A and B are shown apart, each in its own frame.
Chain A
Amino acid sequence: MSGGLSSASFPKNAHAALANPPLLKAIAHIEETLVSGRRRAVDALPEFEALRDAGRDIKAHTLAHLDLYLEAFEKKVVEAGGFVHWAADAAEASRIVLDICQAAGARRVTKGKSMITEEVGLNAFLEANGITPVETDLGEYIIQLRGETPSHIIAPAVHVNKEQVAADFRRVHTKLDPLRNLEEPTSLLAEARGVLRERFLTADVGITGANFLVAETGSTVIVTNEGNGDLTQILPKTHIVLASIEKVVPTLEDVATIMRLLARSATGQEMSVYTTLSTGPRRAGDPDGPEAFHVVLLDNGRSAMLGTEFEDMLRCIRCGACINHCPVYRSVGGHAYGSVYPGPMGSVLTPSLQGLEKAAHLANASTLCGRCESVCPMRIPLPKMLRHWREKEFERHLTPKKARFGLAAWRFLAARPRLYGAVTRMAAWSLARLAGKDGALKQLPLASGWTRWRDLPAPEGGTFRTEWAKRGRK
């Protein structure tokens, strides 16, 4: 887990986010960019639904034989002259990366965008050990300057607007002309490029994640839009890939299939701009490439999800579509979740990363509207899994007392139709009386969660069942 994130304060965080207009404005852009982009890309590809089935099947098959494919991958990496390291948890992964960096005498490392390094809290760990990590993806670079964590898995700085970025650049890039123009996004990009160029050239180790690990060839694959990943992994002498075990797929053909889903679901592009395969270190005759190539395979609770009701979650390709379409995320943004992974996919993953005691809010803070599942390229039944967490919470008596009591009372009543009839008849009648001619209530003591924000439409008067019986019907 990266430094001190906790989902236990979700309601408080959400409250703060809802009172932050610039944040809300920034998140609202997701609609015109990522959501419309996906819509257009999907509409333009008639076989998209069939591709979703194919993608799901590839991942489901791989998960059913995960050990075999991981071993095959390891063998191929070693054959190509690389090293594979197995990390059971975040601490072990960080340790392995640090050891490699120290053995390489590294002072500065460049990083491609990687959610797994966020998951293990790598940057803080390296810094604490005297190594400076430099994020090279523009979004990651921005939030690194701001001392923040990503608020979205594919658009880490989606919560920041360009004025804020300009201010951050002026604060940090002090060697540049203070009067320079930073109005346009393009000038911000150019400035970041200039600053990062020098860092690329002086880095001792490059660290990237992986979108895929290919068992057939021992290759790791990343997709980016900025090309920063390529420079990160080609220029330094050592390249470390930190990836979680479920990223493995059997063949390059499978990569091709899933890639057709990935960019379309993520940003609406047909393909990301750069797709980079790495297979072992530089060979004799290669024009470039690292001298040493390491793959660190992280488990961190994933193998424990196999064979459980959460196994389907391991199909996730981190496209972010569920996040972009989530009405809750769209209301509060990513930081409110207090987790590396926000939105629906995060609400399913976080309880296993932080523990259900801390993360129970996330499983509950969903309308279960199902839009996430309807856009998920891997057809992951996210609402069903959120409900599974709620069931575990209930089984383990973690559900708040008040809610438990309410449920028990409801169950007691609903199982006794006559009593239920009498109670609802009285309540409907009283509420209708209370509302009088207004037809709605502005305030109701036990329903303040409702009436704080909206009127409560009053019942018509008699319940349906009484009216029906009055008409002598059965």
Chain B
Amino acid sequence: MTTPKPQVGLFVTCLVDFFRPTVGFSAVKLLEDAGCEVSVPAAQTCCGQPAYNSGDRAGARALAEQVIALFETFDHVVVPSGSCAGMIKVHYPDLFSGEPGWRLRAERLAAKTHELTSFLVDVLGVAPLPVSWEGTATYHDSCSGLRELGVKAQPRRLLSAVDGLAIKEMRDPEACCGFGGTFCVKYDEISNAIVDRKTADIKSTGVDLLLSGDLGCLLNMAGKLKREGSRVEVRHVAEVLAGMATGPAIGEKTK
């Protein structure tokens, strides 16, 4: 008797959809390799975080309804981003306080929503297929994933199995990179000061590769490193784990 495959709905996130589909395909590969049946509902757009963090509760709520309706039928919802997973897991229920029906649906979805690396380690408990990447890397703990969801050991554990890859920690891997959604353009000068300290920390490790689990932070740090003329490659952790870190890195020249 075979147990049915877990049905996973992949919430790609608007940033991955727009900037870096490779991350989405890497997530699909990791999930399928782990024995999941993966679907990507075509009508998905954004989790509503920009509205939520700008004080537009009604706007966030409207998008939350959309996400709940699209994803509530899956066994699990997996997100290759700590901040979007955090939005669904931690903040959605809060958006529906005083509306018992919706609140219940939000809570049910929250309970089965997971950030990608934490899903692989904490829920499935499987080791990804063997892959290799020659070089040294450092890992940035994105704020929401770290502090809202406790994602810290999971990506490192998965990375420790990558053949040829050595992890070298920053002095302060938990320091914010200064992205902060719309913060990075609203208070761009301060955002720059923050990412400046971050890239200094990254460069002082002397690694070849910077990894993280959130595309927002990655775009910010990659953009800053490029501007500084650094040669550190920047990628989403899923790309390396799936063995799909073959094309140009984030913001890198195409050949």
A328 within 8 A of B: yes
* Interface assignment of B4: CB less than 8 Å from any CB of chain A: no
**B191 located at the interface, meaning its Cβ lies under 8 Å from any Cβ of chain A in the complex:** yes
Interface residues of A in 77-118 (CB under 8 A from B): none
Question: Taking each of A366, A369, A395, which has the highest tally of chain B beta carbons within 10 Å of its own beta carbon?
Answer: A369
B174 at interface (Cβ–Cβ under 8 A)?
A: yes
Query: Which of B16, B180, B254 lies in contact with A369, CB distance below 8 A?
Result: B180
Cβ–Cβ < 8 Å partners of A427 in chain B: 18
> How many residues belonging to B are interface residues under a CB distance threshold of 8 Å?
72
Cα separation A443 to B182 with both chains bound (whole Å): 18
Q: How far is the CB of B10 from chain A (nearest CB, A)?
A: 9
* B2 → chain A closest CB, angstroms: 22
Q: Mark A408-420, 1 if CB is under 8 A from B, else 0.
A: 1011011101001
Asked if A459 meets B18 with Cβ closer than 8 Å, knowing A415-B66, A454-B223, the reply is: yes
Asked whether B62 lies within 8 Å of A454 as measured between CB atoms, the reply is: no
Say whether B184 contacts A449, CB under 8 Å. Answer: yes
Q: Does A357 contact B (CB under 8 A)?
A: no
> Do B180 and A366 touch across chains, with their CB atoms under 8 A apart?
yes
Chain A, Cβ-Cβ closest to B147: A370
Q: Does A312 make an interface contact (CB < 8 A)? A: no
B45 at the interface (CB under 8 A from A): yes
A71 to B227, CA, bound (A): 61
List chain A residues, Cβ under 8 A from B45: 413-415, 417, 420
The answer to whether A410 and B186 touch across the interface, beta carbons within 8 angstroms, is no
Q: Map CB proximity to A onto B180-216 as digits: 1 under 8 Å, 0 otherwise.
A: 1111111111111111010000000000000000000
Asked if B20 CB lies within 8 Å of chain A CBs, one says: yes
B22 touching A460, Cβ below 8 Å: yes
Q: Are A373 and B194 in contact (CB under 8 A)?
A: no
- Interface-facing stretch out of B47-55, B106-114, B117-125, B159-167: B47-55
Chain B min CB distance to A337 (Å): 12
The contact string, 1 if C-beta is below 8 Å from chain B, for chain A 235-252, is 000000000000000000
Does the CB pair B17–A407 fall under 8 Å?
no
Given A367-B183, A460-B19, A474 and B42 touching (CB < 8 A)? yes
A463 CB contacts on chain B under 8 angstroms: 17-18, 21
Q: Which of A18, A327, A440 is B176 in contact with, Cβ under 8 Å? A: A327
Total residues of chain A contacting the partner, CB 8 A: 68
Stretch from A202-210, A221-229, A384-392 contacting the other chain: A384-392
Q: Are B183 and A327 in contact (CB under 8 A)?
A: no
- Complex CA–CA separation, A403 to B43 (angstroms): 26
A399 pairs with B176, CB closer than 8 A: no
CB distance from A411 to the nearest CB of B (A): 4
* Residue among B18, B43, B148, B220 making CB contact with A428, cutoff 8 Å: B18
Tell me if A462 is interfacial: C-beta within 8 Å of chain B: yes
Asked if A453 and B191 sit within 8 Å, CB to CB, the answer is yes
Distance of B240 from chain A, by nearest CB (Å): 17
Q: Distance in Å from the Cβ of A406 to the closest Cβ of chain B? A: 8
A457:B223 contact, CB within 8 angstroms:
yes
Known: A457-B219, A474-B40. A18 touches B17 (CB 8 A): no
Tell yes or no: A274 within 8 A of B by CB. Answer: no
Q: Evaluate whether A403 and B42 lie within 8 angstroms (CB atoms) in the complex, with A391-B55, A457-B19 already known.
A: no
Q: Is B242 an interface residue (CB 8 A)?
A: no
Q: Contacting B18 at CB < 8 Å: which of A11, A414, A424, A469?
A: A424
Selected contact of B188 from candidates A393, A449, A469, CB within 8 Å: A449
CB closest residue in chain A, given B16 = A464
**Identity of the chain B residue whose Cβ is nearest the Cβ of A449 in the assembled complex:** B185
In whole Å, how far is A465's beta carbon from the nearest beta carbon of chain B? 6
Q: Name A471's closest neighbour in chain B (CB-CB).
A: B25
Check B24 against A403 for contact (C-beta < 8 Å).
Answer: no
Contact of B19 among A394, A449, A459 (CB under 8 A): A459
Whether a CB of chain B sits under 8 angstroms from the CB of A30 is no
A371 within 8 A of B: yes
A127 on the B face (CB < 8 A)? no
Say whether A374 faces chain B, with CB atoms less than 8 Å apart.
yes
From B71-79, B132-140, B244-252, give the one contacting chain A.
B244-252
Residues of chain A in range 1-45 having any CB-CB distance to chain B below 8 Å: 11, 14-15, 18
Query: In the complex, which residues of chain A have a beta carbon less than 8 angstroms from the beta carbon of B54?
Result: 390, 394, 399, 403, 407
Closest to A365 in B: B187
> Whose C-beta in chain A lies nearest to the C-beta of B52?
A387
The closest CB in chain B to the CB of A459 belongs to B19
Shortest C-beta distance, B63 to chain A (Å), equals 6
Query: Which residues of the partner chain B approach A11 to less than 8 Å between Cβ atoms?
Result: 187, 189
A370 touches B144 (CB 8 A): yes
B226 with A462: CB separation less than 8 A: no
Q: How far is the CA of A392 from the CA of B176 in the complex (A)?
A: 26
| B96 contacts the other chain (CB 8 A) | no
CA distance A369 to B142 in the complex (A): 9
CA distance A416 to B46 in the complex (A): 11
**Chain B contacts with A in 15-69, Cβ cutoff 8 A:** 16-22, 24-25, 39-40, 42-46, 48, 50-57, 59, 62-63, 66
A392 contacts B17, CB within 8 Å? no
The verdict on B170 contacting chain A, using a C-beta distance below 8 Å, is no
Q: Are B227 and A455 in contact (CB under 8 A)?
A: yes
* Contact of A467 with B by CB under 8 A: yes
Chain B residues with CB below 8 A from A421, complex form? 42
Q: Which of B215-255 contact A (CB under 8 A)?
A: 219-220, 222-224, 226-227, 247-248, 250-255
- Can you sample 16 A-B contacts with CB below 8 Å? A14-B189, A18-B193, A327-B175, A365-B183, A368-B53, A370-B143, A370-B144, A371-B174, A411-B63, A424-B17, A453-B188, A453-B192, A454-B224, A456-B223, A459-B20, A465-B44
Taking beta carbons and an 8 Å cutoff, which residues of B are in contact with A? Answer: 12, 14, 16-22, 24-25, 39-40, 42-46, 48, 50-57, 59, 62-63, 66, 143-144, 147-148, 174-176, 178-195, 197, 219-220, 222-224, 226-227, 247-248, 250-255
Binding site for B on A (CB under 8 A): 11, 14-15, 18, 327-328, 330-332, 364-371, 373-374, 387, 389-395, 399, 403, 407-408, 410-411, 413-415, 417, 420-421, 424, 427-428, 437-440, 442, 447, 449-450, 452-460, 462-465, 467-469, 473-474
The 6 lowest CB-CB distance pairs between A and B, nearest first, are: A367-B180, A457-B251, A390-B55, A449-B185, A454-B223, A394-B55
